[in-house]
Structure 1
């Protein structure tokens, strides 16, 4: 799928900005990753697995400058129209000062065995974090299934109840060219770490009434980073 010139130009600018604001050192690249089991894979409030469990994993190469490239995958279930999601990200993240940090980049969502026209698409993303509060914006000029322009405006907050237990809040607005398809998603969860494993339990919901895949549900996930 071809991405429009305007989106490509913005992505190139973000990449060059990352190069110009930090020094790239070839000998200081880190490899990190994670593997996750979740009782459901909810993307922006909508189940991608017919409310069935998901096995997910990712790998990231990061330079000391803040530049990174990541790959991430998960099983999906789109009514026999695809069973795998494989995403690639190129971005830059870093601290602006002691309290503020940012993350910008471009992401390709890929569904290698999907038969849906326009299932693969690109998205620009950016976020700004102040301590435990994050605001973010994502944009695609040709969203999933040829849906056209799409914006995702979201915010999240993590509040530490104890040294090892946090309340995680999220809200996001999904805006489509077709305003009748736009919707709100939100979640409230708890997260902790036990014996090197990250555990989370979250209530996820949307204001969509017409699809059982967007109904409220509780999702449990356990992950291991390395």
Structure 2
């Protein structure tokens, strides 16, 4: 589906709302565990502003199990495409603990980024793609605005590029207009070995509009359209290749959460 059709699909969804309560989580008996699963179809897969699919469509799925204690585990899978490498999918596994203190929602955990099926090219310098991060996140609601911040650290970032430090801040505003939520994000990525990773340290930012459409006792359809950009110039993007995967772009997605 070309991006124009995906935008039209999002616009069509924005034209109606199913106002009944939705069941977005599935309880597992009396265990205190609930499971949420999401499938997403997007015009691109952007990770911290950089395309992981070389500006092509992304097909994604995620699932998370949360216990009433605040402990959770989850997983995510998406197609990827890196020039010159045979990696075709990314699988993330993560887990952590969430707690609310003084009205602030805190989230501490770790995540592993895995690329099953990827084979390192023989000879020369060939990257190892798998890596892991620890993270801390915080959110705080002020009326219709949800403020958020995050910090991530990897002891050996993507491609074995050394220490990776990442900070992000943002806000989501429930506008009260057509049930739309307006969200903004800004992040900064520090990389120890920039020459190995392929870019300088960089900032990225986005602004997006999202609307949810609950379907009674089934789940929720989520439509989103946004603008994304980075501070990376074309010549500094992944060794100056013609991919231009760091440039400004629009991203549209449709997700179903149940």
Equivalent in 185, 207, 212 of residue 193 of structure 1: 212
TM-score (norm 2): 0.74
Give 1:95 shift. Answer: 1.9
**5+ unaligned residues in a row in structure 2: which ranges?**
1-29, 121-126, 215-219, 238-243
Deviations 1:144-176 (A, max 9, x none): 101000001000101121161111000000001
2:53 and 2:227 map into 1 onto residues whose CA distance is: 17
Q: Give the corresponding residue for 2:93.
A: 88
1:115 and 1:149 map into 2 onto residues whose CA distance is: 23
Number of residue equivalences: 200
- Contact 2:200–2:232 (CA under 8 A) maintained in structure 1: no
1:114 and 1:170 map into 2 onto residues whose CA distance is: 31
1:154 and 1:114 map into 2 onto residues whose CA distance is: 29
Any residues of structure 2 matched to 1:169-208 within 5 Å, and which? 169-178=184-193, 181-194=200-213, 196-208=220-232
- Contact 2:95–2:111 (CA under 8 A) maintained in structure 1: yes
1:122 and 1:162 map into 2 onto residues whose CA distance is: 39
Q: Give the corresponding residue for 1:146.
A: 160
Deviations 1:99-146 (A, max 9, x none): 310111010000012235320011001111111001110000101101
Q: Give the corresponding residue for 2:256.
A: 224
1:169 and 1:105 map into 2 onto residues whose CA distance is: 23
Any residues of structure 2 matched to 1:127-142 within 5 Å, and which? 127-131=137-141, 132-142=146-156
Equivalent in 118, 121, 128 of residue 118 of structure 1: 128
**5+ unaligned residues in a row in structure 1: which ranges?**
1-25
Deviations 1:170-204 (A, max 9, x none): 00000011467200010011011235311111100
- Contact 2:99–2:107 (CA under 8 A) maintained in structure 1: yes
2:31 paired with 1:27: yes
- Contact 2:51–2:246 (CA under 8 A) maintained in structure 1: yes
2:174 and 2:73 map into 1 onto residues whose CA distance is: 30
Q: Give the corresponding residue for 2:19.
A: none
Q: Give the corresponding residue for 2:245.
A: 213
Q: Give the corresponding residue for 1:157.
A: 171
Query: Whose Rg is larger?
Result: 2
2:53 paired with 1:49: yes
After superposition, the CA RMSD in angstroms is: 1.5
